[in-house]
Structure 1
Amino acid sequence: MAIYLDVIWFLNFCIDFLLLWLTSVILKREVSKKRLAVGAFLGSLYVLFLFLDTAIIYHPIIKFFYSVFIIITTFGYKRFGYFVQGLFMFYFSTFITGGGILGLHYFLQTDAKIVNGVVKTQSSGMGDPISWLFVILMVPIMLYFTKKRVDHIEVRKLRYDQVMNFELKIDSLTLKGVGLLDSGNQLHDPISKQPVMIVDMTVFADQIPSAVINHAKSLDSIGELVDEPNPWQDRMRIIPYRAVGSANQFLTGFKADSIGIWDNGEKYETSNVIVGLSFTNISGEGEYNAILHPKMLSNAKVTSTAS
């Protein structure tokens, strides 16, 4: 069997380059293509060492220190934590890509036969052109898939990091729920300039007085309310807003006595809040039932800390 060493080396160089690139993308590190190429070149040299008549290069310790050398060459050494993060993420990228390719290979493999009740498989070895073609095609696909999954996880983590428990107090009523701290929420009461949070009335409708709900639902396009007395008449507010692709609209709200928000074990409390009422579901997956205004936290005071 003929082995084209230059082809194998170049293939490994390309794979190492992509793995180091994926590592830099996941860690959000600015690395020049030149350093990525140098690191990939050092990594690809290991393939040449495999043809040397020595067994020490197969030892896990040698492999570990060789990968350490590759990471330091590619990303540099700023501090120990920085280096360890790069090393472990490089292993993660390598294992998840290699494991995915290996899993797909065996998933699609059809060369198994049953002979006299015994399952037998056949393989033509490392030099099989079909196997190499499979690797060449699958490495970029697995790298792309891994990057997309990591990006998705980061988005989900960002969303959950911004989700906080809250407790609203209005007269003798207390509303408890989970709110999303949204930096894009810039709603303010035009008169008092107080920030406006939005609560999901599909969740809290049964706790709000029916007269308040009727007022909110009767709001027409010019911001007028049906004249119907309700216990929160003095608290009612009309907040104009404009959504993308639509004309000016109005949101009905009311002034709350106070709101408590829990963030990282600390309770922030403020009375500087208007509660807007939304009659459409604001979280399709039910992760939260209110949208918090960022200024509610900046204007709040820490009243208690979890032990």
Structure 2
Amino acid sequence: MVIYIDILLIENFIINLFLLLITLKALRYKYYKTVYIASIVGSLYTLVLFMDNKILASLPFKIIVVLLMVMISTKNYKLLKNIKSTIAFIIMSFTLCGFSFAFSMIDNYYSIFSDFTINDYSIKYLLISIMGLYVVIVRVIDYLRDRALINNFIYDIEISNEKNTLFIKGLLDTGNALREPVTNLPCIIIESTFLENFNIKSNEEFSIPYRTIGEDGNLKGFKTNTVRIRGEDEEWKVVEVILCKCKNKLSKENEFNALLSRGVI
């Protein structure tokens, strides 16, 4: 029997990814892109079949590998939660094995008076194709859901003074309650590169104290003539706010360049 290692690894990668996704979906656990790394780890573990090592092929070691895959996928290190996920993964694996065995009996003769041998399994690639299709559909649905959620919180922002007018996208940060303490005006944090044309005198600047987990400090802010915001399918609304500069990039994909505190809306 000829075994192609590359095909074996690819098939096991798809199966592991399929099992991880349905397991975490069933448990309603959040997973990350590292689920692909976890699937690769599980796929590489298949190479143990070619080694004469009873320890690596033992049941406890298999459970450890599954536990590692779950931890990589969820980035969660709570023992009880990971044990629950591991048990669910194993149950899903046994269920899939049962289905696979049932389908194998279609292509292979079975008799209680003789040993059962799988000589042909033409439906295998159909099952793997279905798993691959499920993985693609889940990824597309997750992407569209995330995009729809983000779009609901994206606002158009127009900032203008005597000389300049700026149009940018801003994300409403519902957990952000930043306000300037004297005027009690809400703040909009904007990437500093977009405010280079707005010349602000030092006596016109505001100092806004902020505090986050493990960090605190002061932001420099200013007011300008007109700031308008507009949500999706909404009319422009003039708001009175303090604009704060931020040196960091707010979105890796450049989907927005400002953060609105909840007091702006």
What is the TM-score when the length of structure 2 is the normalising length? 0.49
Name which one, 1 or 2, has greater alpha-carbon Rg: 1
